[in-house]
Chains A and B, each alone.
Chain A
Amino acid sequence: MARFFARRFGTMLLALLFISTFTFFGMKVIPGGPFDSEKQLPPAIQKNIEEKYGLNDPLFKQYTDYLSGVVKGDLGPSFKYPNRTVNDIIKESFPVSAALGGVSILLAVAVGLTLGVLAALKQNQWQDYLAVIIATLGFSVPSFVLAALLQYVFAYKLGWVLPAMWGTWQQAILPSISLAALPTATITRLMRSNMLEVLQEDYIRTARAKGLKNRVIIYRHAIRNALMPVVTYLGPMVASIFTGSFVVESIFAIPGLGRYFVNSVFNRDYTLIMGLTIFYSIFLMTMNLLVDLSYAVIDPRVKITGKKE
């Protein structure tokens, strides 16, 4: 167990180093800088600003300076949002995105699992077709279309909720539905196909031969065995949804983290790009670690050891 964690953290650190190096030099290759603008600043001022942020140092020194900050937990100041550090930005916006993402994931898991199990049990009946239609729509309708449509119907036409803004729980309804559409579709499809597979297994026949009720067989024997691929999918999905969506947050004017991912690149806000990349990487790798640990909980054949295969 201890060896398992030691190995995993070692790999994570290595991956993190690789990701940050690649991102750092990659973004420097892109032409332009944080203080370029259409209105040309006087060269002296431009030079002073660049001097202040260390942008005139040799590239490698900038890199090591940045990394030594990261090690201390300091992601540096934002270039574009004066007086705010990258840490501040993440601290302010991540909880918003995470709250919205949490609701969306819960929604996606609840609806997706229900639809998937129902579809498998009623294969080729109307419940199955309904689930498949919902899943296909969830896949094919882009979130900006769905978001705009929801705003139009429920906020503009029916007037049940405000079209945008953030603060009360009612305002989370439309954006979380928009965010949940894709994971719901994926979970429905995964769960449906896994359930169909598991229901063909010999141990399901054994369970029937014991005289168990169909409902008991589904809940006790089938669902747990069908859950594995959904858990695998859920790890990266949670990471991606918790860190916000540019599209949904923009449409509903939600002060989340998602928009910074896109804006920081447009603005060449170097420290923010780096900070978000590192934050997202750590989050994603932690989720994957959790996924691996939950395998051991779901399937007793999976053992947590430090040994290689």
Chain B
Amino acid sequence: MPEHLLEVNNLRVSFFTHAGEVQAVRGTTFAIGTGEAVALVGESGCGKSVTAQTIMRLIPDPPGRIVGGEILFAGQDLAKTPETVMEKIRGNQIGMIFQDPMTSLNPTMTIGRQLTEGIMKHQGLPRGEAMKRAVEMLALVGIPQPDRRVKQYPHEFSGGMRQRVMIAIALACEPRLLIADEPTTALDVTIQAQIIELMKELKERTNTSIILITHDLGVVAGLCSRVLVMYAGQIVESGTVEEVFYRPKHPYTYSLLRAVPRLDARTKERLVSIPGQPPDLLNPPKGCSFAPRCEFAMRICRERPPEDRTVKDGHLVKCWLTEPGAPHVSLKGVR
């Protein structure tokens, strides 16, 4: 594995609300190498976005707070970095793209201005130079007539074009890490494919590491080499795309994959779903967080949380079923 650009160790993030402490991220650990693209998948509310925004330190405090763990980015612990230093890292060393391109751009400011303000801040370029760079960036992300488009406002762009602008903003200062928080969720399918293709192309050209957050397993394979499956604030399974998708070891991953609608399914076949609800993170369960919904749950699953266990080189699973001597269950029939 290449040298790690980002290492998240036992990260814990909680939101302190009137009802109590909501433990959104409960001991997440993962690492990303330089030039590597990793997908973070899981259903809504599992803590994907909170993890990503915590790396950028964008979680509003109050109510959110890092209660434990470290975020090592190029050797520096971002969890303890003061705000003034974070400002030099955000947009410069780490770029971020958000879910909804329709609302993520300031409606009263030209695209050029929104692109140049980061460039001017981080690279210290004068306005004219920054504007030249902005036009270059727009061209790079595939926006036609970039020198005309920089003078326009966000409402003059379509959804897909706006997401391209967001990518241009995120990559303008050539960051070492790009965090894409559901970049394709708000776009229609053909545009989704274009955006993923664009990110892949840019990754290859610039050797930027990528964290792709998504709940669409289809877009993962196109861009990423590794997958992190998140459930109730923890990474329950991680490994290469091939390992996790074809040989899932965690019943949650298995259920998640089974829930993907298949193109060759018979028309009468019903969509598969995972019964039950994710646990209440105000009072997380004592044992494995997936146990209440797991069809293979044993007594120990409800009593003690499982530890990470390596089932194959680089394939980690948090499940009691992987323990030697556990009953053998067959998770088959996926793809």
Q: If A209-B96, A210-B90, A213-B87 touch, does A225 touch B107 (CB 8 Å cutoff)?
A: yes
> Separation in Å of the B261 CB from the closest CB of chain A?
29
Q: Judge if A207 is at the interface, Cβ distance under 8 Å.
A: yes
> Separation in Å of the A156 CB from the closest CB of chain B?
48
> Separation in Å of the A73 CB from the closest CB of chain B?
41
Q: Judge if A202 is at the interface, Cβ distance under 8 Å.
A: yes
Cβ 8 A contact of A211, one of B91, B103, B105: B91
Distance between Cα atoms of A195 and B274 in the complex (Å): 41
Instruction: Determine, out of B117-125, B212-220, B308-316, B324-332, the stretch whose residues face the partner at the interface.
Output: B117-125
Question: Mind listing 23 A-B residue pairs with CB under 8 Å?
Answer: A202-B98, A203-B103, A205-B98, A206-B98, A206-B105, A208-B58, A208-B90, A209-B58, A209-B96, A209-B98, A210-B121, A211-B88, A211-B118, A211-B121, A212-B117, A212-B121, A213-B87, A221-B106, A221-B109, A299-B107, A300-B107, A300-B110, A301-B107
Evaluate contact between A300 and B103: CB separation under 8 angstroms: no
Evaluate contact between A212 and B107: CB separation under 8 angstroms: no
Q: Which residues of B are in contact with A by a Cβ distance under 8 Å? A: 56, 58, 86-92, 95-96, 98, 100, 103-110, 114, 117-118, 121-122, 153, 155, 166, 169-170
Evaluate contact between B91 and A203: CB separation under 8 angstroms: no
Distance between Cα atoms of A208 and B122 in the complex (Å): 13
> Separation in Å of the B156 CB from the closest CB of chain A?
9
Evaluate contact between B117 and A210: CB separation under 8 angstroms: yes
Point out which of B108, B110, B122, B170 has the most chain A C-beta atoms below 10 A from its C-beta: B108
Question: Which B residues are CB-close (under 8 A) to A203?
Answer: 103-107
Distance between Cα atoms of A206 and B100 in the complex (Å): 11
Cβ 8 A contact of B90, one of A211, A216, A224, A298: A211
Question: Which A residues are CB-close (under 8 A) to B117?
Answer: 210, 212, 216, 220
Question: Which A residues are CB-close (under 8 A) to B100?
Answer: 202
Q: If A206-B98, A209-B95, A210-B121 touch, does A298 touch B108 (CB 8 Å cutoff)?
A: yes
> Separation in Å of the B135 CB from the closest CB of chain A?
18
Distance between Cα atoms of A208 and B87 in the complex (Å): 8
Point out which of B58, B86, B91 has the most chain A C-beta atoms below 10 A from its C-beta: B91
Question: Which A residues are CB-close (under 8 A) to B106?
Answer: 203, 206-207, 221, 225
The A contact surface, by secondary structure, is helix
Cβ 8 A contact of B153, one of A209, A212, A300: A300
Question: Which A residues are CB-close (under 8 A) to B153?
Answer: 300-301
Question: Which A residues are CB-close (under 8 A) to B118?
Answer: 210-212
Distance between Cα atoms of A75 and B175 in the complex (Å): 70
Distance between Cα atoms of A220 and B113 in the complex (Å): 11
Question: Which B residues are CB-close (under 8 A) to A224?
Answer: 108
> Separation in Å of the A212 CB from the closest CB of chain B?
7
Residue of A nearest to B95 (CB): A209
Question: Which B residues are CB-close (under 8 A) to A298?
Answer: 108
Evaluate contact between A206 and B169: CB separation under 8 angstroms: yes
Question: Which A residues are CB-close (under 8 A) to B91?
Answer: 209-212
Question: Which A residues are CB-close (under 8 A) to B90?
Answer: 208-211
Question: Which B residues are CB-close (under 8 A) to A211?
Answer: 86-92, 118, 121-122
Q: Judge if A201 is at the interface, Cβ distance under 8 Å.
A: yes
> Separation in Å of the B153 CB from the closest CB of chain A?
4
Chain A residues 136-182 with CB under 8 Å of chain B are none
The 5 closest A-B pairs by CB, nearest first: A211-B90, A211-B91, A210-B91, A210-B118, A202-B103
> Separation in Å of the A299 CB from the closest CB of chain B?
6
Question: Which A residues are CB-close (under 8 A) to B108?
Answer: 224-225, 298-300
Point out which of B106, B117, B166 has the most chain A C-beta atoms below 10 A from its C-beta: B106
Could you list 10 further interchain pairs (A-B, Cβ under 8 angstroms) beyond the known A206-B104, A211-B87, A220-B117? A203-B105, A203-B107, A208-B90, A212-B118, A212-B121, A216-B117, A224-B108, A300-B110, A301-B107, A301-B153
> Separation in Å of the A66 CB from the closest CB of chain B?
47
Residue of A nearest to B87 (CB): A211
Distance between Cα atoms of A301 and B108 in the complex (Å): 8
Distance between Cα atoms of A202 and B101 in the complex (Å): 9
Evaluate contact between B103 and A201: CB separation under 8 angstroms: yes
> Separation in Å of the B194 CB from the closest CB of chain A?
21
Distance between Cα atoms of A209 and B98 in the complex (Å): 10
Question: Which A residues are CB-close (under 8 A) to B110?
Answer: 300
Distance between Cα atoms of A300 and B108 in the complex (Å): 6
Residue of A nearest to B179 (CB): A209
Distance between Cα atoms of A221 and B106 in the complex (Å): 7
Evaluate contact between A301 and B155: CB separation under 8 angstroms: yes
Q: If A208-B58, A209-B95 touch, does A202 touch B88 (CB 8 Å cutoff)?
A: no
Distance between Cα atoms of A209 and B88 in the complex (Å): 10
